[in-house]
Amino acid sequence: MPALLVHGVPETAAVWDGVRAQLDDQSASTVALPGLGNAAPAGFEATKEGYLAWLTDEVQAAGEPVDLVGHDWGGILVARLALTRPDLIRTWVTDAIAIFDPAAEWHDLAKLWQTPGAGEEFMANMEAMPHDQRAGLLAGAGMPESYARVAAEPDPEMNRSILTLYRSATQLNRDWGEDLQPSERPGLMVLATGDAYASTEIARAQSERLGLGVHELDGLGHWWLVQDPERAAAMLRDFWASAS
């Protein structure tokens, strides 16, 4: 079965490079979300619905049910797609299920991006910074330094896309969370114990609500896939094998 790996924000598909290198015996490929490190197609709207529709088309193009894996915003999109279009999925993995809980709140930076004026000012300041300073800020937020230097490349289109995406999702837990039912396909919640952007308690509760397995990555943070790609790949291989 083909596996598709979906990145998050502010990231590009390169965030999966280490994991893909460890999955050389698997048919795993990445998808690059439009406007995030690449040019968006004409007419694309960088909203949560726009990204979900785009990802649905990518999954359908595979021609058969896929093993879908998402990190951060990729994990949000993967979960929504898997739970609403199970016919397209063989298995699915996410690290971002907590945001669907009614009690969940966006992190402080997300709230800033959702604020008109303040979000634009933040992005303008980031674009004006020297590369090393931008990389330092990302590393300070928990991103591994090796990837922070990649993610720090200036990209005004990505910045605009991020603002549009987050502003379309201020009520995501209501818009996308209230109608979700237990998964019809095998699903796995990745629980990185050092993730400062997600509540462990809420993630466990949502996993139980949706009938997902939980794989705990003790000592790893939000960017677990970059911190320990060998461990991440082993987790995926084991999960995919268990669903065969």
Specify burial of residue 243 (Cβ count, 10 A radius: 0-12, 13-18, 19+). middle
Domain boundaries, the chain: 3-242
Give the tens place of pLDDT for each residue, 157-202: 999 999 999 999 999 999 999 999 999 999 999 999 999 888 899 9
Give the closest residue to 188 by CA, choosing from 226, 229, 242, 228: 242
Q: How confident is the model at residue 25, as a pLDDT?
A: 67
Q: How confident is the model at residue 244 (pLDDT cuts 50, 70, 90)?
A: confident
Tell me the CATH class for 3-242: alpha beta
- Mark out the alpha helices in 73-142 (DSSP H runs): 73-84, 108-113, 118-128, 131-140
Rounded to an integer, what distance in angstroms lies between the CA atom of residue 154 and that of residue 156? 6
What is 15-44 written as a DSSP string? GGHHHHHHTTTS-EEEE--TTSSSPPPTT-
Give the tens place of pLDDT for each residue, 135-165: 998 998 899 998 999 888 889 999 999 999 9
Segment (H or E) for 229: helix 229-242
Residue 89 has pLDDT above 90, yes or no: yes
Q: How confident is the model at residue 51, as a pLDDT?
A: 98
Rounded to an integer, what distance in angstroms lies between the CA atom of residue 160 and that of residue 197? 22
Give the tens place of pLDDT for each residue, 18-77: 999 999 766 799 999 999 999 999 999 999 999 999 999 999 999 999 999 999 999 999
Across residues 96-119, what is the average pLDDT?
95
Rounded to an integer, what distance in angstroms lies between the CA atom of residue 158 and that of residue 88? 28
Segment (H or E) for 68: strand 66-70
